[in-house]
């Protein structure tokens, strides 16, 4: 598939939806095909190298930008593909089959940068911070977590002090994906400490900026093609024009973005699990023991059956959550359920992939161990599984009319 055809395919999907002869399933099938072929041709051949060298896939991100995959939720007026959350879920899933680290870059950029500016930004902010970010030229980031407030997103210590010109930011942000490559980042800071979560605001901060220091790239277990750094803000000035949304609206903006990101993480987990199932099944077909292919042994067949069943359930939940968000941008329960189910399925599938490969699953000559390492983060970032369980329980109990005592 030529680059020109790839580019046209994704950007035209939005316009295809206007014609009755193209159903939603047709659009998603075409999108999945485009991203699958990109992953197979552009990512799979280099995924191991990206992982071992912690190398950012700059060329591939630029190509994904020209393809339309870096602005899937952004309207075409600002250079985006103008598609929906279900489309983002499918794109991330297929990219994850090729490289888990690259899919992390794509998901965070789409869900926690481009979409937030698209939905909450002013016209001037959209004009400045979207076009070059959705075409693959620039990358955006999201800075919410801190060392003392990871799961407790309302307990931020970073402050934004109002001045005559805007705000002065002070604090340290942790676990910022894409920080090393980002040209702009959405930073959440406390503007009114008395109001707790209602006193948090969001700011678009240019990189570089005065007083902003990017820390070292963390040496991670998996998704090593993506950078993860601390960001230190020391009297960093931000104009009032760079306040995203209204003052005090930051927590709402962050939670809305995390719903989308969690659905993307579920899709990422599905893609990684699919790659692991592909690897295990192919190996079991080719590898012989006692004169027979491993696939002839019932124990291996049962492992593959359980892997495929959990993968299918996770895939359906991820797509269901994406469709729910397309009906309501605040779909916290569905997003948490999808992330919980898919991330645990990914860990299960990648673990069993290694078991089927045996010793070959434990060495880097085969991708099984990389899939396992990449899968582990899906149970952690975007909110650990324990937090997802708490969130789900709160929503279920609330549906019965009960509340916490």
Q: What is the pLDDT of residues 61-85, one digit of tens each?
A: 999 999 899 999 999 999 999 999 9
Q: How far is CA 25 from CA 15, 144, 315, 343, in A?
A: 14, 35, 15, 25
pLDDT, one tens digit per residue, over 40-59 is 999 999 999 999 999 999 99
Q: Is the pLDDT of residue 376 over 90?
A: yes
Structure-model confidence comparison of residues 283 and 66, the more confident one = 283
pLDDT, one tens digit per residue, over 191-236 is 999 988 899 999 999 999 999 999 999 999 999 999 999 999 999 9
Residues 6+ away with beta carbon under 8 Å from 221:
373, 376, 377
Give the count of beta carbons closer than 10 Å to the beta carbon of residue 18: 7
Prediction pTM value: 0.94
Confidence of residue 31 (pLDDT cuts 50, 70, 90): confident
Q: Which helix (H) or strand (E) holds 293?
A: strand 292-293
Q: Give the chain's mean pLDDT.
A: 93
Rounded mean pLDDT, 232-241: 98
User: Which three-class secondary structure string do you get for 17-46?
Assistant: CCCCCCCHHHHHHHHHHHHHHHHHHHHCCC
pLDDT, one tens digit per residue, over 360-372 is 999 999 999 999 9
pLDDT of residue 403: 75
- Token output for 177: 């994906």
pLDDT of residue 7: 45
Tell me how long the chain is: 405
Residues 129/162, Cβ–Cβ less than 8 Å: no
Rounded mean pLDDT, 314-324: 97
In 105-264, where do the E strands start and end? 140-143, 159-162, 166-177, 184-190, 200-206, 212-214, 228-239, 243-244
Q: To 10 degrees, the CA torsion angle through 237, 240, 246, 247?
A: 50
Number of alpha helices (DSSP H) and beta strands (DSSP E) in the chain: 14, 10
Q: Which helix (H) or strand (E) holds 1?
A: none
Confidence of residue 6 (pLDDT cuts 50, 70, 90): very low
- Integer-rounded Cα Rg, in Å, for the chain is 21
Rounded mean pLDDT, 93-101: 98
For the stretch 254-281, what's the b/e string if a residue is b when 16 or more beta carbons lie within 10 angstroms of its beta carbon? Answer: bebbbbbbbbbbbbbbbbbbbbbbebbb
Cα gap 15→26, rounded to integer Å:
13
pLDDT of residue 3: 40
**DSSP letter assigned to residue 128:** H
């Amino acid at each position: 598939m030529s680059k020109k055809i790839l580019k046209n395919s994704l950007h035209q999907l939005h316009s295809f939806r206007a014609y009755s002869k193209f159903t939603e399933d047709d659009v998603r099938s075409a999108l999945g095909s485009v991203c699958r072929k990109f992953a197979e041709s552009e990512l799979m051949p280099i995924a191991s190298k990206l992982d071992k060298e912690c190398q950012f896939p700059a060329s591939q991100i630029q190509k994904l930008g020209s393809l339309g995959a870096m602005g899937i939720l952004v309207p075409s007026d600002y250079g985006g593909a103008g598609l929906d959350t279900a489309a983002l879920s499918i794109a991330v899933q297929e990219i994850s089959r090729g490289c888990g680290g690259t899919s992390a870059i794509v998901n965070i950029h789409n869900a926690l940068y481009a979409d937030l500016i698209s939905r909450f930004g002013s016209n001037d902010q959209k004009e400045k911070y979207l076009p070059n970010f959705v075409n693959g030229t620039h990358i955006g980031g999201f800075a919410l977590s801190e060392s003392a407030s990871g799961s407790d997103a309302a307990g931020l210590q970073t402050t934004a002090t109002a001045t005559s010109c805007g705000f002065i930011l002070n604090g340290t942000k942790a676990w910022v994906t894409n920080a090393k490559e980002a040209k702009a980042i959405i930073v959440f800071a406390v503007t009114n400490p008395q109001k707790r979560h209602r006193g948090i605001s969001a700011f678009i901060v240019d990189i570089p900026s005065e007083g902003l220091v990017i820390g070292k790239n963390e040496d991670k277990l998996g998704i090593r093609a993506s950078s993860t750094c601390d960001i230190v803000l020391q009297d960093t000035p931000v104009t009032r024009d760079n306040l995203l949304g209204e003052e005090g609206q930051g927590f709402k903006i962050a939670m809305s973005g995390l719903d989308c990101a969690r659905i993307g993480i579920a899709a990422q987990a599905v893609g990684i699990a699919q790659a692991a199932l592909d690897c295990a099944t192919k190996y079991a077909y080719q590898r012989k023991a006692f004169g027979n292919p491993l696939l002839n042994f019932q124990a291996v067949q049962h492992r593959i059956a359980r892997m495929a069943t959990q993968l299918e359930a996770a895939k359906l939940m991820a797509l269901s959550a994406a469709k729910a968000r397309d009906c309501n941008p605040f779909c916290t329960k569905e997003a948490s359920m999808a992330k919980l189910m898919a991330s645990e399925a990914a860990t299960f599938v990648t673990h069993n992939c290694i078991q089927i490969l045996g010793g070959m699953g434990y060495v880097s000559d085969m991708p099984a161990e990389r899939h396992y390492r990449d899968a582990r983060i899906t149970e952690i970032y975007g909110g650990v599984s324990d937090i997802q369980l708490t969130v789900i329980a709160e929503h279920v109990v609330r549906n019965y009319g009960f509340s916490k005592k």
